[in-house]
Every structure is written in C-alpha cells, then in structure tokens.
Amino acid sequence: MKGEPKPSIIHGEEVQLVDTYKYLGTVFDNQLKFHTESLSVKDRNSLNNIVKICSKITGIQLKSLSSLWNKHAVQKATCIISQPDHVLSEEFTLMPSGRRYYSIRPRTMRYSHSFILQPSGC
C-alpha cells in the first residue's frame, strides 16, 4: 500500500506538492507532462532554455521539447494509420514516393495548429 510521498526539500524549505502548476502559460502536471503546441515562440524558447539548464544541473542529456513533440507526433500518426477504422485514417495519403504523406491545407485558422497539419516523415 502506498503511503504519503516524502516531502520535497529545496534549500532547507519544504516544497508544497500540487497536481498542476502553470508557468509561462503552460500547465504542468505532477508527472511533468505538458503540451507545447499552443505556446508562442518566445515561451517555447524559454522552456527549451529551462531544459538545457536542467540538463546541466543533473548531468543527464535531456531531449529538446521539439524533438519530444516530433517523436510523439510520429507515434500518434503511426497509431492512426495502423487503425483503418480511425476517424482520421483517411486524412493520411501517401505521396507517390511511398515514404511521406501529403499535408492538408486548412481553409480556416482554426485548424492551422492541428496535429494532422504538422509535417511528419513517418
């Protein structure tokens, strides 16, 4: 049975544990998961700088936010393509080369930041 987690202490002070935290317009959950596609370029660069600093502090090479998002997008597209009954499976049409997919041109700005419109090489 899991008990209460041990309190986190930074610089001698106990840090309150929360489920979500908003920073630079991005909501982080307690697993440090977040979505960056709706961020401005300035905010995205600020978060990438934070990742670089964390990488230096921990001594572990961390991936950039854009590379993480690209990996997630390819996994999502592969999942959609592998399921013929998926609603979006018809949106993925192979180019004549057979290696890349056509990109959809949105008619409205509403769909301009959609997952489907992002180019992927899967």
| Res. 114: pLDDT tops 80 | no
Q: Give pLDDT tens digits for 23-54.
A: 766 777 776 666 666 667 787 788 788 888 88
* Mean pLDDT calculated for residue range 83-94: 82
Residue extents of the structural domains in the chain: 8-58, 66-111
Give the residue, 78 or 104, on which the prediction is more confident: 78
| Average model confidence (pLDDT) across the chain | 75
Cα 121 from Cα 88, distance rounded (Å): 17
| Res. 115: pLDDT tops 80 | no
